Chain A
């Protein structure tokens, strides 16, 4: 069993016991434990089930590369799935649950899949589930959804806080191991502004466990003194629990700081996303040990050799009494030595190499450890935990030579430098044949704005595995980065470490090399996604030659660990199957983030009320205090309706509609875009912007206009008023103000830059109030001031003046079909003017109305609404707006496009009114269907509903829609199905259903 050793590990404080739970079981650990070390100390070898076969899974690694030990963590608003136990620091009260099993971790129904493995080969989903089509939706998908997936999705709102932090540095050093420390020191001593970040809470990296001497002293002493030297430099900042997540264009890097994951009751944010701009980046990110591929390498108790000694040295945890080490390199001997030093048994080191004579090998021999060269594991014995191994010759097919009882198998297939950050932004790799690893190619670095390298790799990540080379390489990297960032490097020499003799490693991609299919089907490459050696070989056999295709076909490396353990091994198996060299096959793309980061960190503070700014009209507060049901429109909150006590929203809308038609309505129209276009060429410019002629508009007059894109599609609409010879005021839709202003600026600045025109977006400078209804003139006359009579201020004109003592500009325009004035006053006067209208309007039955009433009133009049009748594929001609398209103008934006054959196609759907025979309200977005089916077997469609409302004026549903040959089919009855399959019989009618001759607005 796995247990705690009497000698405490270097990271834990044995005097501080803390309590946590796993699957509801209460367990004890120490301060300084990770969840993984604490589970192992409690003999919890089984920590999860694999994705496809639901195989028992144990902890494999001790760091970010862990594929198996993924947990559902926390409860309610702090619940989060897929948390790696190896990077989760233990805290009092931590509650973790294992994933991907049903009904329980120990007994899992899905494990039956493992017996079906022969029938679930690579690409199984693609092969099996594609036919018959309907089966996918009704049979396969529901079953797969239920049994697949790792953690549960959180249900509650995240109760924690997250934040972003921006910083600018000369040199960012990622990784706090020996290389990172020396690089930071060299850069810092050169005077550069340095930020040094380390993803764990422990500085010094692997050297803390693996040892060595620097300048004649233990490496741990050197680490301590270097940390102090760094802290003494005012230009160096050092932060832990901060992972380098990604490297992007021009020295931009993301850091992911787990501020309070280990102290969840502390104040402050849980995570902090660092948005770093660095002149130079040094990645000292170390390496990850590779597993070996042998039958049963996924059984709990088979672990990376480095992880086995990490748990012993760092946490005082023995994974088992007897550890068999299996390796193709010297490094794994450290594990055997560490186990012996901890008083544990090492029955054998199985070294796949024919011989080895490095210092560590000699040390193991001197300690009396049994050493077997040329040996491999034929099979691991055990189910939910290792009970022993069967030994065979590496060069054979797996004939068992002996059996060894053990609880732990410590495997090492060599090391893969962590080149992720180097590669994120285009750094290239070389294959190092001697060390069998991809290393950064310094001649092909990721480059910055000046075309120069922006990332340097240091230490093990750069392919230097021994301590002395690490120090020299890191020192140079730090100096080079400082120099490239503009500092003058100091000439100080790098510290030196004793050099060791290392015997060459030997590539071993399958164990034994001639393993038959039965063994290859049990030799796992990707533990989390259940991809085996046989799967990759099958993919190659089926013609998947590209590594990117093989990855997707087999799902190798596509799990939450993104192939940190499996990619190189899978690649090697693939290249062997293709009979190609590894560099020829190439790697998959490294994409940020390095390990998954929380969605909360990405969102930062941008959620809830601060997700985006709220724009308020001068009347916003009054609206909200008077029953406004807020509707987000752009960044505004407009009143959908003003709901009175005891009323539903629907009832409020009906009341507002009737009152506006019969008495007097007020609309806060301040959100409408208002753009001043001014200059000698303003008319000429607007003739290009609008489909109508604007240059011929007389000062004092208003004209409705359409704005199209150069593709011909309708983009916006609104009323344009000519203020004087050189000045126009263009109204846009609420959502269109910024867009149309930008559109104008784009054309002015980039196409007609010699035209004398200026634009200004004055939307927020004015409050604009629509005074609407038969009593509109009465209330204005009561307030008194300018002449608002039909004669003085006819329909589609405007005038400046004073009403009720307010300086104002009154437009006689109507979007409702009623007698209507839109009156603009300076924003600062908006609320006072509104108050005056409400007070004076009491005797005329005044009521404010919201956007829904606005929509219904316009729909009754057949007026289009941008975003309802238009959707980016609609041209004005579709909406019967030919009258607003000038035939006289030689050119306007969209004119040429509207002449293209498809735009002039008589079969384009056109706008009509729709009237249900039973008076019901059509569903929004419903389609009009015709007889027959299309090539996909769907009902033929001949139209769709664009606007649909209940009209209180007419006491029935009203609608508009685009219908094939619609205007030629007046009176025809169409079929419009609802989602429940029933049909609504609907007649094509004129879209204008209220006051067709415009007698009410023109009074």
Chain B
């Protein structure tokens, strides 16, 4: 039963208010893409033990999608941020670096 802060409405939302949306920052591949790229887009996921970036929707609240950076091991939440972005904000990356020096996740570090 996680608690995540919705960056839109400011609510500290209990997990019962949220619906999970899997991994964040996935690039869409459409018609014209190679089989490999498309397969990776549909099915390739990180499943890390540690720092992870996820999508959540404040479904039983303001209805907005947002991203959360958290540790899958310790359940520590490094921050939540708007979904309208291609990468995590620098301040969240800095916060992760302070707590998990040397971390990396896909192309981010």
Cβ contact within 8 Å between B31 and A249: no
CB pair A745 B77 closer than 8 Å: no
Please measure, in the bound complex, the distance between the C-alpha atom of A529 and the C-alpha atom of B46, giving whole angstroms: 40
Residues of A with C-beta under 8 A to B6:
none
The answer on a CB contact under 8 Å between A742 and B74 is no
Binary per-residue interface labels of chain B (12-39) against chain A in the complex, 1 for a CB within 8 Å, 0 otherwise: 0011000001000000111111010010
B9 CB-CB contact with A under 8 Å:
no
A contact residues, total (Cβ < 8 Å): 28
Q: A451 with B83: in contact, given A250-B3, A750-B55, A900-B35 (CB under 8 Å)?
A: no
CA distance A753 to B2 in the complex (A): 27
Q: Is B65 an interface residue (CB 8 A)?
A: yes
Identify which of residues 43-59 in chain B touch chain A, using a CB-to-CB cut-off of 8 Å.
55, 57, 59
- Check A249 against B1 for contact (C-beta < 8 Å): yes
Q: Which residues of chain A in 740-759 are interfacial with respect to chain B, using CB atoms and an 8 Å cutoff?
A: 742, 745-746, 749-751, 753
Contact A742 B38 (CB under 8 A): no
The reply to whether B42 and A711 form a contact with Cβ atoms under 8 Å apart is yes
- Assuming the contacts A249-B75, A890-B31, A900-B35, asked whether A710 and B42 have C-beta atoms less than 8 A apart, the reply is yes
Interface residues of B in 37-93 (CB under 8 A from A): 38, 42, 55, 57, 59, 63-65, 71, 73-77, 83-84
Query: In the complex, A249→B2 CA distance in Å?
Result: 6
Instruction: Give the distance in Å from the alpha carbon of A977 to the alpha carbon of B84 in the complex.
Output: 54
Tally of contacts, chain A with chain B, CB under 8 A: 70
A449 proximity list for chain B (CB < 8 A): 2-3, 75-77
Contact call A896/B31, Cβ cutoff below 8 A: yes
C-alpha spacing A250/B21, complex, angstroms: 20
A896 neighbours in B (Cβ, 8 Å): 29-33, 38
Q: Is the CB–CB distance between B59 and A447 below 8 Å?
A: no
The residues of A that contact B73 with a CB separation of less than 8 Å are: 426
**B106 adjacent to chain A (CB < 8 Å):** no
CB within 8 Å for A448 and B59 given contacts A749-B83, A751-B28:
no
Any chain B CB within 8 A of the CB of A891?
yes
**Partner among A426, A895, A899 whose Cβ is within 8 Å of the Cβ of B74:** A426
* Contact (Cβ within 8 A) A252 B1: yes
Contacts of B99 in A (CB 8 A): 451
Contacting residues, chain B, for A895 (C-beta < 8 A)? 30-31
Tell me, yes or no, whether A997 is within 8 Å of chain B by CB. no
CB-nearest residue of chain A relative to B21?
A: A746
A248–B1 CA distance with the chains assembled, in angstroms: 6
- Which residues does chain A contribute within 8 Å of B84, judged by CB atoms? 749-750, 753
Question: Within the assembled complex, what's the spacing in Å between the Cα atoms of A750 and B85?
Answer: 8
Cα of A295 to Cα of B59 in the assembled complex, Å = 59
Per the bound structure, the CA–CA distance linking A93 and B38 in Å amounts to: 68
Closest to B29 in A: A896
Q: For A890, list chain B residues within 8 Å (CB).
A: 31
Q: Is residue A14 within 8 Å, beta carbon to beta carbon, of the partner chain?
A: no
Which of these, A450, A749, A899, contacts B76 with CB under 8 Å?
A450
**CB pair A447 B65 closer than 8 Å:** no
With CB as the reference atom, state the residue of chain A lying closest to B77. Answer: A449
Binary CB contact string for chain A from 857 to 900 against chain B (1 if under 8 A, 0 otherwise) = 00000000000000000000000000000000011000111011
- Give Cα A746–Cα B83 distance, bound, in whole angstroms: 10
Chain B residues within an 8 Å CB radius of A899: 31
Q: Which one of A890, A895, A896 has the highest number of Cβ atoms from chain B below 10 Å of its Cβ?
A: A896
Chain A hits for B2, CB < 8 A:
249-250, 449
CA distance A174 to B55 in the complex (A): 35
B interface, how many residues as a size bin? Answer: 20 to 34
Q: Which residues of B contact A252 (CB under 8 A)?
A: 1
- In the complex, what residues of B have CB within 8 A of residue A248's CB? 1
**Chain A residues with Cβ under 8 A from B31's Cβ?**
890-891, 895-896, 899
Contacts of B28 in A (CB 8 A): 710, 751
Q: CB-CB < 8 A to B71: which residues of A?
A: 451
Within the complex, what minimum Cβ distance (angstroms) separates B105 from chain A?
A: 17
Q: What's the least CB distance linking B25 to chain A, in Å?
A: 10
In the bound complex, CA of A890 to CA of B84 (Å): 24
Do B42 and A750 have beta carbons less than 8 Å apart? no
Chain B residues with Cβ below 8 Å from A250 are 1-3, 75
A243 to B65 alpha-carbon distance, docked (Å) = 37
Q: What 0/1 pattern do residues 250 to 279 of A give for CB contact below 8 A with B? A: 101000000000000000000000000100
Closest to A891 in B: B30
Q: Are B63 and A745 in contact (CB under 8 A)?
A: yes
Cβ–Cβ < 8 Å partners of B64 in chain A: 749
User: Quick check: A746 and B57 within 8 Å, CB to CB?
Assistant: yes
Task: Mark out the residues of chain A between 463 and 485 whose CB falls within 8 Å of any chain B CB in the assembled complex.
Answer: none
Flag if B38 contacts A451 (CB, 8 Å).
Answer: no
- CB of A354 to closest CB in B, whole Å: 45
A933 to B38, CA, bound (A): 35
A425: which B residues are within 8 A, CB to CB? Answer: 75
Kindly provide the distance from the CB of B101 to the nearest chain A CB, expressed in whole angstroms.
Answer: 14
- Decide if B42 touches A897 in the complex (CB within 8 Å): yes
- Please give, as numbers and ranges, the residues of chain B lying within 8 Å of A710 by CB-CB distance: 28, 42
CA distance A447 to B73 in the complex (A): 9
Closest to B28 in A: A751
Given contacts A249-B1, A447-B75, contact A750 B29 (CB under 8 A): no
Tell me the smallest distance from the CB of B80 to a CB of chain A, in Å: 11
Per the 8 Å Cβ criterion, residues 232-255 of A in contact with B are: 248-250, 252
Q: Which residue of B lies closest to A251 (CB)?
A: B3
The chain A residue with its CB closest to the CB of B39 is A900
A750 touches B75 (CB 8 A): no
Least distance between A983 CB and chain B CB atoms (Å): 40
A753: chain B residues at CB < 8 Å are 83-84
Contact with B along A412-442 (1 / 0, CB 8 A): 0000000000000110000000000000000
> What residues of B have a CB within 8 angstroms of the CB of A711 in the complex?
42
**B76 CB contacts on chain A under 8 angstroms:** 447-451
Tell me whether A750 and B74 are in contact (CB under 8 A): no
Shortest B24–chain A CB gap in Å is: 9
The answer to whether A746 and B65 have CB atoms under 8 Å apart is: yes
Q: How far is the CA of A711 from the CA of B43 in the complex (A)?
A: 10
> For residue A450, which residues in chain B have a CB less than 8 angstroms away from its CB?
76-77
Q: Which A residues are in CB contact (< 8 Å) with B57?
A: 742, 746
Find the B residue at minimum CB distance from A741.
Answer: B63
Q: Which residues of B contact A451 (CB under 8 A)?
A: 71, 74, 76, 99
Closest to A890 in B: B31
Chosen A-B contacts, 9 in total, with CB atoms closer than 8 Å, are A249-B1, A277-B3, A447-B76, A451-B71, A753-B83, A753-B84, A891-B30, A896-B29, A896-B33
Binding site for A on B (CB under 8 A): 1-3, 14-15, 21, 28-33, 35, 38, 42, 55, 57, 59, 63-65, 71, 73-77, 83-84, 99
A447-B74, A451-B76 given. 13 additional CB < 8 A pairs? A250-B2, A250-B75, A425-B75, A426-B75, A448-B75, A449-B2, A449-B3, A449-B77, A451-B71, A451-B99, A745-B65, A750-B55, A896-B38
List of 5 A-B pairs having minimum Cβ-Cβ separation, nearest first = A451-B76, A252-B1, A753-B84, A749-B65, A447-B74
